[in-house]
Amino acid sequence: MARQIADIPAAALARFREGSVIPAHPLALTAARTLDEMRQKALSRYYVDAGAGGLAVGVHTTQFEIRDVGLYEPVLRLAAEAATGWSNDTLFMIAGVAGRTDQAVAEAQTAASLDYHAVLLSLAAFQGASEDEIIAHCQRISQEMPLVGFYLQPAVGGVLLPFSFWRRFAEIDNVVGIKMAPFNRYRTLDVVRGVVGAGAEDRVTLYTGNDDNILLDLVTPWRLVRDGAPVDVRIKGGLLGHWSVWVNSVTGLLGRAHAAVAADRVDQEFLALAGQITDCNAAFFDVANDFRGCIAGMHEVLRRQGVLEGIWCLDPEEGLSPGQAAEIDRVCEAYPHLNDDVFVADNLERWLTP
């Protein structure tokens, strides 16, 4: 059944609009690279208890290869069941959809059948396509589900998308938000300009996916001009692979960002934390090796906490890069105030309960 923004439960939509922590949900595997259902549920329970306002499942951090091994629907179903069965709050549930139009439509229909609220639209399959072709694809998927746009950085398969694309995308009525993750200030600005150019800033909620600039994105006033008048836009929350770890700490940081914006004052300590978080991300996301170990790096943090049993990915060739474990050691030692190790240790046994 086709879904519109008006069909999203009011409580879930309000959490999304006000700005939430939305972890990009990893995939828990056994040593045999089969789905570890117990730990997959534990991850979802962890995020709920840590204060996440939603979950993004079937996205890059979940590994796009789940589609090749028949895990797309089971993984989406597990997260939906774990989230609704563990919390009385209504989380904003986002399903990643990928591929060309037929595949993306089928995935959006699967998400709708599982009561997800929106789909995060990967456009990686449209390398070399025209802007008109990509917009037609987005319009077709919007007939099935509300859309969250996704500017994925080209280093991991994203498509370069100019201001003109984002203006046309924001004009689609069933677009509820955009996740900006080009890891590039100019391209991030293209998205913000596009939303303002479409006059859609009240309908399209902006989320940062710029793992290299998380806190600064959340406190930056984006003041643009439309028809000679200033238009102020804010990035309200984060939908990030980086926010799949240390989530109880992250929710506190988002609260501090919102408070700083409300008070119109960003203190120096907060700005210092922004740099420390970027340093952590460089280790977790394996910047030194062009992000090759980005998923395994997040797995490693969760493994050290006991949430995951190992760092296995569906691709046997995907793992930590040489030197990456030492870099993770370094940032964990340097910034202990950023982790949530005690919170996880206090709750892990409960999350792992069948």
Q: Where are the domains of the chain?
A: 5-263
- Give the model's pLDDT for residue 90: 86
* pLDDT reading at 138 higher than 90: yes
- Using a pLDDT cut of 70, give the percent of the chain over it: 100
CATH homologous superfamily, domain 5-263: Aldolase class I (3.20.20.70)
Mean pLDDT of 250-276: 96
Mean pLDDT of 290-301: 96
Which residues have a Cβ under 8 Å from the Cβ of 154 and sit 6 or more positions away? 160, 182
Residue 6, judged by CB atoms within 10 A of its CB (0-12, 13-18, 19+), counts as exposed
Q: Which has more confidence, 90 or 225?
A: 225
**Rounded Cα distance, 194 and 191, in Å:** 5
- Give the model's pLDDT for residue 296: 98
Return mean pLDDT, the chain: 96
Q: Over the stretch 177-186, which tens digit does the pLDDT of each residue have?
A: 999 999 999 9
- Assess contact for 46 and 344: CB atoms under 8 A: yes
Stretch (H or E) spanning 205: strand 205-208
Q: State which amino acid sits at residue 121.
A: L
- Give the model's pLDDT for residue 116: 97
* Tokens read off for 102: 């037929």
- Give the model's pLDDT for residue 302: 98
**Rounded Cα distance, 278 and 271, in Å:** 11
Q: How far from 327 is each of 124, 294, 336, CA to CA, in Å?
A: 29, 13, 14
SS3 233: strand
**Rounded Cα distance, 20 and 91, in Å:** 10
**Rounded Cα distance, 69 and 21, in Å:** 29
- Assess contact for 210 and 239: CB atoms under 8 A: no
Beta-bridge mates of residue 97: 121
* pLDDT tier at 157, thresholds 50, 70, 90: confident
- Give the model's pLDDT for residue 222: 95
* Tokens read off for 290: 């062009």
